[in-house]
Structure 1
Amino acid sequence: MISDFTALRAQLANGRTSAATALSACRAQAHSAAGKLAYTHLETSENHACRSAPLHLPLAGVAVSVKALFDVQGWVTHAGSKVLQAQPAATTDAVAVARLRAAGATLMGQTHMVEFAFSGVGTNPHYPTPAAMDALWGRDLGDVYVPGGSSSGAAASVASGSAWLGLGSDTGGSIRIPAALNGLVGFKSTANLVPLQGTLPLSSTLDTACALTRSVRDAITAHEILAARRITRSCAPLAAWRLAIPSTLMLSDLAPAIAAGFTRSIALLRQAGAHIEEIALPELDALPAIHRRGTLAAAESFAWHEPLLAQHGHNYDPRVRQRIEAGRHMSAADYLRLHQARNDWIAQVNARIARFDALLSPTTPITAPLLAAVAPASALDPAQDAARDAAFVTANALLLRNTSVVNMLDGCALSIPCHLPGELPMGLMLWHGADRDDALFNLGLLAESTLLTEALRQGAQRAQPLHC
């Protein structure tokens, strides 16, 4: 079993497999029962064949999926909506897509997503919802759980084996939530590191273009391509890093499985030499007051969607429309005060956490909800709509709670799997403020190796990536 695309690239280099064989295997997975729900469009054009990419390119032979809010030349950028399906196809690639293509990537197709990227659950009434999988241990979860969103199809494509890298976006957790719920690695970079030209916006302030992968080393390669920069590598041991656990908000109301998994992960890191301090971060309790008149995502999405809502509002997912419409009643003064309050809050949080290299939290406080409990109204008995809508609102708020803190901070974060075989997937989130990306990657390599070693000791059969 090839563990990640770094291992695939090694096999391509030594002739143990070919790019054509690798692509064929991914295409077969894309047409499987589990794989096909990840996509709203599968590429068939030979213009995207990986055999045309020279093998020295970092993504030659690597299948990549693209979230449907990025422009791809010749594809319609519909962002998971009915409203945009009839618009003309894009004439150029988004910058993120162009950088992946220049690195040799094969574009497999356009992935399922929450309509206009405005939810962390992963459902969309316009398309069948892909089920969460456990990519870390290569198994179906049995029951149908939500994949997390909004980059639901990006996660499903990587978890099902039809892509090695899923290009997505993260405005409040849309990369890290599906990473946690599918046993994947999800990295949210400092927002300004990857250009957003050619990307349909949700929040111009908070949006980040980033990727889902199978390992931290793959995430490093993906980031270096997307951000057109090299990270500074370190081989310092865990004992050399200063780590903290914020007890405020992030550890509240954890599902028992998440609490147990997080406690176990921290204990394993400490056994491996990590020095971890628990701290209060009272600034997190101030977020509801900061948002009492609305959120940046609501204000900025409404500004973009107002003309479309006037003409096509009836074709929106009602759950998404409700969240966008929340921005209708925010005044310009509300919006400007929110930005100022955010800037002040960022300064306060950064001052409190500056002495640490990273903070550790559960990526999500719950595991994936069952799809039947939160499915869109069109999917099940309409008599149950109110109950499912209420369950959706609760699940969405919980799934976004921890991850959205980092977006509000204008920070960076890495979610790595921390579950054992037989458990529902869950993530450990390493995070900090802006421009701490390199430290998170170096720590992530160490944490990933530590947690995976324990899982292998528990009897799982999976090749462990080799790190510095």
Structure 2
Amino acid sequence: MIKALQNVLSSGHVTASGLLDDSLERIARDRRDHDAVYVSVNRESARKAAKTSDALRDRGYVPSSIAGLPVSIKDLFDVKGEVTSAGSRVLREARPATRDAVVISRLRDAGAVFVGRTNMSEFAYSGLGLNPYCGTARNPSDPRRVAGGSSSGAAVSVALGHVAWSLGTDTGGSLRIPAAFCGLTAFKPTARRVPLDGVLPLAAAFDSVGAIAQSVDCCVAADSVISSHVLDTSPRALESLRIGVLFGGVVDETDDQTHAAFYEVIRRLIDAGVSIVAFDFPELNEVLALAPQAGITAAQAWGWHRHHIKESAHLYDPRVLARIRKGEHLLAADYIELLKTREFFIGASQRRLSDFDAWIMPTVATVAPLAEPLLEDDDAFFSTNARVLRNPGIVNLMDGCALTLPCHREGALPVGVSIVGTSMADASVLAVGRSIESLLRQCGLGKSAIEDSLPGGAHG
């Protein structure tokens, strides 16, 4: 999509201002059925940015591959002059940011046009995307279903064709879950590759910043700007790849549609000459039984929220408040043990995956669930949330990186397949992802509903 849009901009047939007008028209068109996608839409500042981009292009200056393109920003990032409310009532009256987050500054220098702030799970503390106060963004494939979270509005803004891509965060799957549920691509980089300065935290141990988009190529373009590092992501020959698959929980404890879609991916890869190797990972079940990620996240979230909760507990989503409060009474000794468990798991994952170009798994254990039961019943919410977070959260726990690709058949509910790598294996994951994406598209799997109707009349 990004290349297609840059091509129409370079041709002179469309301007950045024209792309923005198209974006704003689409947002207005979809507002009736999708009224919870944005916290705010920044029309005037976006128009100024688009005009500036057009003027610079007329002078021959195009600072990056995303210059002049509409982008949405999750409501966790500081943008100078705007309130970072994190999808909450608690921070709605907070002071506006006095400076841009580092990634926002990099995007601004690259010529991105910020269309608006996207809605999310309150304080990013849910994989389902429910928000009782700001509204719940619904899945474009089936509005009865959730869009996934916590970057819910980010995914929907891309799926509806409002923007070229969206900036989000991922603590336990918050980029990859909504991308998988909405039939999109998302890349969660190794956390330390993209600075978190000016990003409201959930858990500093796991938080990472990345993109939701229409393709691997779009994610690579976004990553090169926000990480300030261009990776070699040239596609790999499929017959040269050695891919690990861990059967058992992450694969077999999935719903029927996810299970079938994943096994079709495996079959297609084998037919293309990829070496698929089953492997054992006993440390995974051992570590998951200790739940270090939940404990570390709750402890770090409590550290940030405790003063707000003292004064404004009544403004929190009760489900989010309950999860944060789990960190209130965690002993320092227990917290240290959880950190040690994580370090053990990082080392174990590096050993287990060292012989593979990547590890693949279903991104999420289920297709997007229906929203109403989750809105009404706490037990349904917490059990479903845990199931949705299980697979993607493994990647954050191992300090890894992962790409999710849509792999469903046309007309079916979206399903994602994840290409996973260890810490700093980002280039390899994206390169392998390019090759697998090409194969899936040749097989007619994972086609986006809007690929043939992109902003500005471009075609992907």
TM range (shorter): over 0.9
1:62–1:114 distance in 2 versus 1, CA, 3 Å: same
2:75 matches 1:68: yes
- Residue correspondence of structure 1 range 163-312 to structure 2 within 5 A: 163-291=163-291, 295-312=295-312
Asked whether 1:122 is paired with 2:156, we answer no
Cα distance in 2 for residues equivalent to 1:369 and 1:351: 35
CA distance in structure 1 between the aligned counterparts of 2:400 and 2:142, rounded to whole angstroms: 35
Task: Provide the secondary structure at the position in 2 that maps to 1:311.
Answer: helix
Which AA in structure 2 matches 1:26? S
2:409 maps to what in 1? 420
Q: Is 1:410 the equivalent of 2:399?
A: yes
Q: Deviations over 1:256-297 (max 9, x none)?
A: 000000011111122222111111211110123332795111
Query: 1:119 & 1:8 partners in 2: Cα distance?
Result: 33
2:85 matches 1:81:
no
Asked whether the 8 Å contact 1:35–1:161 carries over to 2, the reply is: no
2:2 to 5, 22, 26: 5
Which of 428, 438, 448 is the equivalent residue of 1:439?
Answer: 428
Say whether the 8 Å CA contact 1:187–1:415 is kept in structure 2: yes
- The alpha-carbon deviation at position 236 of structure 1 amounts to 3.0
- Quote the residue 2:115 is aligned against: 108
Pick which of 336-345 and 77-86 moved more: 336-345
Corresponding letter in the other structure for 2:12: G
Q: Flag the 1:39–1:287 CA change in 2: closer, same or farther, 3 A.
A: same
Contact 2:129 2:146 in 1 (8 A): yes
Gaps of 5+ in 2: 455-460
Does the 8 A contact of 1:413 with 1:431 survive in 2? yes
Q: What is aligned with 2:38? A: 39
State the distance in 2 between where 1:264 and 1:329 align.
Answer: 46
Counterpart Cα distance in 1 of 2:327 and 2:18: 49
Distance 1:371-1:289 versus aligned 2 partners, 3 A rule: closer
Q: What amino acid is the match of 1:263? A: Y
Is there any run of 5+ residues in structure 1 with no aligned partner, and where? 134-140, 376-384
Aligned-pair identity (%): 37
* RMSD (Å) for aligned C-alpha atoms: 2.0
**Which residue matches 1:18?**
15
Aligned CA distance change for structure 1 residues 458 and 93 (closer, same or farther; 3 Å): closer
Pick closer, same or farther for the CA change 1:93–1:322 going to 2, 3 Å: same
SS at match of 2:334: helix
**SS state of the match for residue 211, structure 1?**
strand
SS in 2 for 1:83: coil
Q: What per-residue deviation string (whole Å, max 9, x for no partner) do you get for residues 409-435 of structure 1?
A: 000000010011111011000001101
| CA–CA distance in structure 2, aligned partners of residues 41 and 442 of structure 1 | 35
Count of paired positions: 444
Secondary structure class of the residue paired with 1:45:
helix
Which whole-Å CA distance do the structure 2 matches of 1:50 and 1:103 have between them?
A: 12
Q: Is the 8 A contact 1:294 1:326 kept in 2?
A: no
After superposition, the Cα gap between the structure-2 partners of 1:24 and 1:458, relative to the gap in structure 1 and judged at 3 Å, is closer
Q: Are the aligned partners of 2:408 and 2:445 in contact in 1 as well (CA < 8 Å)?
A: no
TM-score (norm 1): 0.91
